[in-house]
Chains A and B, each alone.
Chain A
Amino acid sequence: MARRRSVVRRAGAGRRIPAGVVLGIVLVIGALALIIARVSNSGGSDAALQTGDDAAAVAGRVATGPARASESFFQRIGRMWNASDRIDQLERENRELQAWRDLAERLAERNARYEALLRMPPDAFGEGADVEHSIAAQLVLDSGGPFTRTLVANAGADHGVRVGFIAVNENGLVGRVVSVGHRSSRILMLDDYNSRIPVMGEASRVRAVLAGQATRPPELITHPYQIQSPRLDFIVGAQNLREGERVITSGDGGLFPRGIPVGVARRQGDGSWRVALSAAQRPIDFVRILPYMGVERPEGDPVESEGPPASSSSSVAAIGRETMAPPPRAAAPTPPPSTQTAAQTPRPRPAPPQTPAATPPSPAEPAPAAQTAPAPAEPQE
Chain B
Amino acid sequence: MTSFFSAAPSRRTLRLWGLVLAVASVILPALPLGPLFAQPPMPLAVLWAAYGWAAEDESGWRAPVALALLGLLHDQLAGGPYGLFVLIYLSAYLIGRVAAVLMSAPNLLSLWGGFIATALLTVVIVTIVERVLLPIAVGPYAEAAAITALLFPFVRPLYMSGAPSAWSQGARR
Contacts and interface: CB of A to CB of B under 8 A. Distances in A.
Interface string B1-39: 000000000000000000000000001111111100111
A106 interface: no
Contact of B30 (A33, A38, A144, A285): A144
A31 interface: yes
A331 interface: no
Interface in B101-146: 129, 133-137, 139-141, 143-144
Nearest to B87: A31
A143 interface: yes
A144 B39 contact: yes
Interface string B140-173: 1101100000000000000000000000000001
A266 interface: no
Contacts of A285: 32
A352 interface: no
B91 A142 contact: no
Given A24-B90, A28-B87, A283-B32, A35 B133 contact: yes
A45 interface: yes
Interface in A18-50: 18-21, 23-25, 27-28, 30-36, 38-39, 45, 48-49
A33 B82 CA distance: 10
Nearest to B92: A24
Contacts of A147: 78, 84, 136-137, 140-141
Contacts of A144: 28-31, 37-39, 42, 77-78
A150 interface: yes
Contacts of B97: 18, 20-21, 24
Interface string A87-129: 0000000000000000000000000000000000000000000
Contacts of B83: 30-35, 38
Given A27-B68, A64-B31, A145-B78, A215 B90 contact: no
A60 interface: yes
B172 to A, nearest CB: 9
A348 interface: no
Interface in A332-351: none
Interface residues of B, number: 53
Contacts of A45: 80-82
B79 to A, nearest CB: 4
Interface residues of A, number: 51
Contacts of B45: none
Q: Could you say which of B40, B42, B59, B71 has the most chain A C-beta atoms within 10 Å of its C-beta?
A: B59
A143 B77 CA distance: 6
A45 B134 CA distance: 15
Interface centre among B65, B80, B83 (most CB of A within 10 A): B80
Contact of A215 (B32, B80, B140): B140
Contacts of A20: 57-61, 63-64, 97
A141 B32 contact: yes
Contacts of A38: 80-83, 134
B133 A283 contact: no
B93 A49 contact: no
A264 B60 CA distance: 55
A317 interface: no
A288 interface: no
B168 to A, nearest CB: 14
A214 interface: yes
Contacts of A145: 29-30, 38-39, 74, 77-79
B59 A18 contact: yes
B58 A18 contact: yes
B84 A24 contact: no
B80 A25 contact: no
B79 A143 contact: yes
A63 to B, nearest CB: 6
A269 interface: no
A143 B78 contact: yes
Nearest to B26: A145
Contacts of A307: none
Nearest to B71: A31
B25 to A, nearest CB: 10
A142 B60 contact: no
Contact of B86 (A27, A142, A143): A27
Nearest to B141: A146
Most buried by A among B68, B90, B133, B137: B137
A152 B79 CA distance: 9
Contacts of A33: 83
A19 B60 contact: yes
A32 B42 CA distance: 26
Nearest to A140: B32
Given A21-B94, A35-B134, 4 more contacts: A24-B64, A24-B97, A31-B68, A35-B82
Closest 3 CB pairs of A and B: A144-B29, A34-B83, A145-B78
